[in-house]
Structure 1
């Protein structure tokens, strides 16, 4: 298998953490790429017509993309149980919430880094942060019992989302109003899979 990736991407990190957690990391060739919404990569676009990462080429079918699809595939391939049927809708909803945090946080970066300065819109950046921090607050208020349960894909997604907030938006404080989640993240981020995938 071949994974198109950029180490800074929280969506890629989610896949890489899952690979570590399921013992499949060395089954994949990790192909680094550099892309933005305005500078696609030909190999990535061949694997994913949307031109986004992560994208996974696999031997038993066409390439697959979107981190949630890739994580489901890799979980099924190993039979790892990170999408447990007993709480599948909770796991998928919490994973989607974490992915929404990632998406909003990435859009904030793109607005400042990719858009020409004269076209940047601070209101757009603020609106994305409102979405991200609102989701963080909701996880802290509603989902801590799930996060303290058995490991599943949602745990990985939440941890990668919070790690990306620290990585790209460290000047914004998500912790002070979310003490239980901050404590959970401090413990989870010490896992070997998280330590091995810290963006540089």
Structure 2
């Protein structure tokens, strides 16, 4: 199978962290392709990164679907709990992690454009989403484990993205428990091997 490659995409990173944790990263070929390349649209009509093409040629997107597919391969403990409260906790954390990314990626583009009242309002709105999510995660940090679920993977990748793209807006002040958790997981092989780069 092959996965679109991007050193800067936190969504690609999340998929690769899942693959490493599942012990199947050696089975994944890195696929370097631009979103404007029509070949990508053949596998993903949205022409977005990440896209995973399975061994039988099926195109999967976007990262939640890719991660769940990867979780169905390999013999390591599953990252998506099968049922019950643990599953809903993992999926909720997954949504928070992805929500931080969904609020941060477009904001980064908006910051680079000329600022007007509408754009400033949009940026402030997205900053508020990230701030509330971080405060919520701080309350839950004591119950987070060492990347044992997709939720913890998503949160770790989101915090890594904030470090990577928003160094001038440090998230650690006011979040000591979340900081301690992140510092313990960022050194794990799956995170260390997938550090973002431009």
TM beyond 0.5:
yes
186-195 or 119-128, which moves further after superposition?
119-128
- What TM-score comes out, normalization by structure 2 length? 0.89
Q: Structure 2: where are the runs of 5+ without partners?
A: none
User: Deviation string for 1:110-168 (max 9, x for gaps)?
Assistant: 2234xx53778122112111111211111111x22441377111111100000000100
Measure the CA separation in 1 of the matches of 2:161 and 2:153.
Answer: 12
Structure 1 counterpart of 2:14: 14
Q: CA RMSD in A?
A: 1.9
Measure the CA separation in 1 of the matches of 2:146 and 2:157.
Answer: 18
Measure the CA separation in 2 of the matches of 1:31 and 1:185.
Answer: 29
- The count of residues paired between Structure 1 and Structure 2 equals 193
2:14–2:154 contact (8 Å) kept in structure 1:
yes
- What TM-score comes out, normalization by structure 1 length? 0.89
Measure the CA separation in 1 of the matches of 2:186 and 2:168.
Answer: 19
Measure the CA separation in 2 of the matches of 1:16 and 1:26.
Answer: 10
1:15–1:71 contact (8 Å) kept in structure 2:
yes
Measured after TM superposition, the shift of residue 62 of structure 1 is 1.9
2:44–2:60 contact (8 Å) kept in structure 1:
yes
Measured after TM superposition, the shift of residue 26 of structure 1 is 1.2
Q: 1:188 aligns with which of 178, 185, 190?
A: 185
Q: 2:134 aligns with which of 130, 133, 136?
A: 136
Q: Structure 1: where are the runs of 5+ without partners?
A: none
Equivalence map 1:43-122=2 (5 Å)? 43-60=39-56, 62-80=58-76, 81-85=78-82, 86=84, 87-113=86-112, 117=114, 121-122=119-120
1:4–1:44 contact (8 Å) kept in structure 2:
no
2:146–2:185 contact (8 Å) kept in structure 1:
no
1:6–1:33 contact (8 Å) kept in structure 2:
no
Structure 1 counterpart of 2:123: 125
User: Deviation string for 1:71-105 (max 9, x for gaps)?
Assistant: 11111122531111241111111101100001111
Measure the CA separation in 2 of the matches of 1:187 and 1:169.
Answer: 21
